[in-house]
Amino acid sequence: MRKLENIETTNFKRESKHNKENKQRVNVLSKIHHAVYRMIPLLVFVFLILLWEFIVVVLEIKDYIAPRPTQIISEFKNSGSLLLEHTLITVYETLLGLCIAIIFAIVLSLICSKYKLAKRVLYPLAVVSQNVPLMAIAPLFIMWFGFGILSKILVVVLVGFFPVLLNTVKGLESYDLELVDMMRYMQASDLQIFMKVKIPAALPSFFSGLKIASAYSIMGAVVSEWVGAKNGLGIFLTRSMKYYNMPGMFADIIVIVVLSLMIFRVIEFVESKVIRWNINRS
Amino acid sequence: MSKVNVNNLNRTFKNGIKSLEVLKNIQFYLRENEFVSIIGPSGCGKSTIFRILSGIDKDYSGEVLINNTDITKHPQKVAYLQQRDMFMPWRTVIENIILPLEITGEVSIRELRIIRKHIKANKNYFEAKSVSEPLNSVFRLINDFGLNGFEDYMPYELSGGMRQRAALLRSFIINSDIMLLDEPFAALDAITKTKMQDWLLKIWNTHKKSVLFITHDIDEAIYMSDRIYVLSERPATIKDVINISFRRPRNRDMLMTQEFNEYKGRLFEVLLGRC
C-alpha cells in the first residue's frame, strides 16, 4: 500500500493513469446503477410473483381458489395451442373492428368539421350509442348478427369509434386562427389550409382518441365473446370458469393484458413517428 | 410611385348591439423603397390596419389602394409579418420558411425533404445536383438571414432573434415588394433588438422593398423610418406625420444628435399630450 502511494506521488504519468482507471470504474458503477434503476419495476414484479408462489405453498391454498404462478406457466405449456387458437380469433375481431371504427370515425369527423349541421345531428346519436351499456349491447348484437365473429366486430366498432370521433372533431377545431389568417394572406386555397393547418393540428388529439379506443376495443371483443361465441378469449374464460380451471383463467387474463399493451404500444410507436414535434414546447 | 395609398379608412367592430370604433378616418401612403413607421399606444388598432391591407379583414369602409389597385376588387399580395411568429410547430425551420412557395406550387415539401436528406448525408450536394431555382434562391437567402446550419431545427429550438429572422424570411419569400412588419422586434431584448434593427435596414437596402413598420418604440421609429405616422388612442386617428430627414445609411451616432432629440420630444408630445 505504501509502495503504491510512493509510485503515485513520484510518477505523475502513473497517477493520471490511475485516475483514469478510477474514473472508468466509477463509470461502470454508474452504468450498473442505471441498469438496476431501470430494472426496478421488473424486479418488483418478479418479487411479487415469487411472494405469491410462496404464500400459496406455505398457506396450502387450494388450486380452485388461487393457483400458483408455476401452475399458470404450465397451463401455457399444456393448452398453449388451444389458447393461441382462441387468441387469434380475438385479435382478428379486435383489429378488424378497430380499423373499421377508425375509418368510420375519420370520415364522420371530416363531415362534422365541414358541416356544422352534420355535427348537430350526429353528435347526440354518437353520445347515446356510448351510453348504452356494453353488457346490454353485446347480447342484442348476438341476437341480430349471430354467434359468429360479425357480432363481435360490430361491438368493437361501436365502442371504438366514439373516442376517435370525439377527439378528432375536437382536434380539427383546435387549429390556430392566426395561422389560418396567415395562410389566407399567402392566398392559400381552402384545401391547402385544411391539409397544412387543420390536419396536423388534429393529429395529437386523434392519437389520444385512438389510444382510448384501443383499450376499449379489446374489452369490447372479450365481453361480447363472454356473452356468447364459438371461439375467442372470452369464451375460453367462461369455459375455464365452468370447470374451475383457475390456471386457465389466469392464463387467459394474462393474454388479454399483453394484447392490450401490445396494441397500445404499436399506436404509441406510430404516434412517435408521425408527431415529431414537441407538443409541450410549441 | 405610390405602393400603398389609404384614404378615409374606417373600421368598426360590431358584436351584437355593441359596436367598437377602432379606426377613424385613417389616411397615409407609402412610396416605392420607402420605410414608413406607424406608432401609437397599445391596442389602438395598428394591427387592424395591417389585417385590412393584407386582405384578411374585409369589413372596412374607405379606399385602400395597393399598387394603384383597389384591394376589394383585386386582392394584392403583400409580405406581411404578424406580431406572433406563427410557425407551424410540426415543421422544421426550413419547411416553415418555404410555406409561401409551397402554396403557390413553386416548391413541394417532398422535394425539399429529399434535398435536405441528401445535404445531411453529403455536404457537397449543391454542386453535384441541380436544385430547382425557387428553392435555390431560398437557400441563398438563408445565408443573408443568418440561419445557416439551423435549417433542420424545430422552431422552438431557436433563440428569439433567430425565430424573428426566420419569420421575416418566410414573409420575404412572398412574391411582393411591399412588406408589412407588425412589431417584429417587440419581444426581443435591447441588445438583440439593436442588432436586428441594423440588420433589417441592411436587408431593406440591398433587396429594395417598401416597408410599413408598426412599432411602439419611439427610438426605433426615428432610427429606421423616412416618415412616421402617429396614431391616437382608440378610435385611432392620425394625430401627426413626421418626416425624418437623417441621411441613409443610418448609423447609431444619429441617436446622440440634437436633431434626434427634437424628433423624440415632438413624438412624446404628440403621444402623451404634454411635455
Read off the pLDDT of residues A31-83 as tens digits, 9 standing for 90 and up: 888 888 888 889 999 999 999 999 999 988 887 788 888 888 998 888 889 99
Question: Cβ A200–B90 below 8 Å, yes or no?
Answer: yes
Question: Cβ B86–A179 below 8 Å, yes or no?
Answer: yes
Distance CA B240, CA B265 (A): 13
CATH of the domain at A108: 1.10.3720.10
Contact by Cβ (8 Å): A139, A228: yes
Contact by Cβ (8 Å): A248, A233: no
pLDDT of residue A6: 47
Phi, psi of A94 (to 5 degrees): -65, -50
pLDDT of residue A19: 65
Distance CA A128, CA B261 (A): 71
Question: Cβ B103–A186 below 8 Å, yes or no?
Answer: yes
A146 and A27 in a common domain: no
**CB of A122 within 8 Å of any CB in chain B?**
no
A55 and A181 in a common domain: no
DSSP state of B16: T
Amino acid at A51: L
Nearest neighbour of A278 by CB, restricted to B100, B102, B156: B156
A91 and A214 in a common domain: yes
Chain B residues with CB inside 8 Å of A279's CB? Answer: 89
What's the mean pLDDT in B80-108? 91
pLDDT of residue A2: 47
Instruction: Tell me which residues of chain B have a C-beta less than 8 Å from any C-beta of chain A.
Output: 51, 54-56, 75, 77-78, 80, 82, 84, 86, 88-91, 99-100, 102-104, 154-156, 174
Nearest neighbour of A185 by CB, restricted to B55, B102, B156: B55
Asked which of A11, A28, A60 is the last residue of a domain, the reply is: A60
Query: Which residue out of B71, B82, B88, B110 would a mutagenesis test of the A interface target, given it has the greatest number of A Cβ atoms within 10 Å?
Result: B88
pLDDT of residue A31: 82
**CB of A192 within 8 Å of any CB in chain B?**
yes
What's the mean pLDDT in A122-135? 84
A272 and A166 in a common domain: yes
Chain B residues with CB inside 8 Å of A282's CB? Answer: 89, 154-156
**How many other CB atoms are found less than 10 A from the CB of residue B154?**
19
Chain B residues with CB inside 8 Å of A200's CB? Answer: 88, 90
What's the mean pLDDT in B120-131? 68
A231 and A142 in a common domain: yes
* Collapsed DSSP state (helix, strand, coil) of residue B241: strand
pLDDT of residue A8: 45
Question: Cβ A187–B103 below 8 Å, yes or no?
Answer: yes
In chain A, the number of structural domains is 2
What's the mean pLDDT in A105-118? 90
Chain A residues with CB inside 8 Å of B174's CB? Answer: 186
Asked if pLDDT for residue B129 goes beyond 80, the answer is: no
Asked if pLDDT for residue B100 goes beyond 50, the answer is: yes
Helices (H), ranges, chain A? 2-10, 12-58, 69-78, 80-114, 116-131, 134-145, 149-172, 177-185, 190-193, 199-227, 233-242, 246-274
Nearest neighbour of A184 by CB, restricted to B56, B89, B91: B56
**CB of A180 within 8 Å of any CB in chain B?**
no
- Print the domain residue range for A40: 1-60
* pLDDT class of A106 with cuts at 50, 70, 90: very high
A131 and A37 in a common domain: no
Asked if pLDDT for residue A9 goes beyond 70, the answer is: no
Radius of gyration of chain B from its Cα atoms, rounded to whole angstroms? 20
Asked which of A60, A84, A103 is the last residue of a domain, the reply is: A60
A183 and A94 in a common domain: yes
A188: nearest CA in chain B? B103
Query: Which residue out of A177, A182, A271 would a mutagenesis test of the B interface target, given it has the greatest number of B Cβ atoms within 10 Å?
Result: A182
A83 and A51 in a common domain: no
Asked if pLDDT for residue A11 goes beyond 50, the answer is: no
pLDDT by residue (tens digit) across B4-39? 999 999 999 888 888 888 999 999 999 999 999 999
Share of chain B above pLDDT 70, in %: 96
Question: Cβ B82–A200 below 8 Å, yes or no?
Answer: no
> Crossing angle of helices A80-114/A246-274, nearest 10°?
40
Chain A residues with CB inside 8 Å of B78's CB? Answer: 185
Distance CA B38, CA B181 (A): 10
Which residues touch B166 (CB under 8 Å, ≥6 apart)? B85, B87, B93, B96, B97, B145, B147, B150, B155, B158
Buried b (16+ CB within 10 A) or exposed e, A147-176: bebebbbbbbbbbbbbbbbbbbbbbbeebe
Nearest neighbour of A277 by CB, restricted to B54, B78, B89: B89
Question: Cβ B154–A179 below 8 Å, yes or no?
Answer: no
Grid cell in block for residue A159: 365502442
Q: How many CB pairs under 8 A join A and B?
A: 55
Question: Cβ A187–B75 below 8 Å, yes or no?
Answer: yes
Question: Cβ B155–A282 below 8 Å, yes or no?
Answer: yes
Asked if pLDDT for residue A12 goes beyond 60, the answer is: no
pLDDT by residue (tens digit) across B143-179? 888 888 898 999 989 988 899 889 999 998 988 889 9
Q: Pick from B30, B14, B51, B39: which is nearest to B233 by CA? A: B39
Asked which of A60, A79, A110 is the last residue of a domain, the reply is: A60
Chain A residues with CB inside 8 Å of B90's CB? Answer: 200, 203, 275-277
Q: Which residue has the higher pLDDT, A241 or A276?
A: A241
Q: Pick from A44, A225, A51, A190: which is nearest to A113 by CA? A: A190
Asked if pLDDT for residue B212 goes beyond 90, the answer is: yes
**CB of A22 within 8 Å of any CB in chain B?**
no
A246 and A139 in a common domain: yes
Q: In terms of DSSP bridges, do strands B2-15 and B18-31 run parallel, antiparallel, or are they unpaired?
A: antiparallel
**CB of A190 within 8 Å of any CB in chain B?**
no
Helices (H), ranges, chain B? 46-53, 93-97, 99-104, 109-121, 125-128, 133-144, 160-173, 190-207, 218-224, 258-272
A140 and A87 in a common domain: yes
**CB of A179 within 8 Å of any CB in chain B?**
yes
Share of chain A above pLDDT 90, in %: 49
A21 and A55 in a common domain: yes
Chain B residues with CB inside 8 Å of A178's CB? Answer: 82, 84, 86
Question: Cβ A181–B78 below 8 Å, yes or no?
Answer: no
Distance CA B161, CA B85 (A): 11
Chain A residues with CB inside 8 Å of B84's CB? Answer: 178
Amino acid at A17: K
Cell 431545427: give the residue.
Answer: B153
pLDDT of residue A10: 46
pLDDT of residue B94: 93
What's the mean pLDDT in A263-277? 90
CA B156 to chain A, closest CA, distance in angstroms equals: 6
pLDDT of residue A7: 45
CA A114 to chain B, closest CA, distance in angstroms equals: 21
A124 and A15 in a common domain: no
A184: nearest CA in chain B? B56
What's the mean pLDDT in A166-178? 91
Question: Cβ B54–A197 below 8 Å, yes or no?
Answer: no
Asked if pLDDT for residue B58 goes beyond 80, the answer is: yes
* Collapsed DSSP state (helix, strand, coil) of residue B274: coil
ipTM for the whole complex: 0.85
pLDDT of residue B275: 43
Chain A residues with CB inside 8 Å of B102's CB? Answer: 196
pLDDT of residue B263: 92
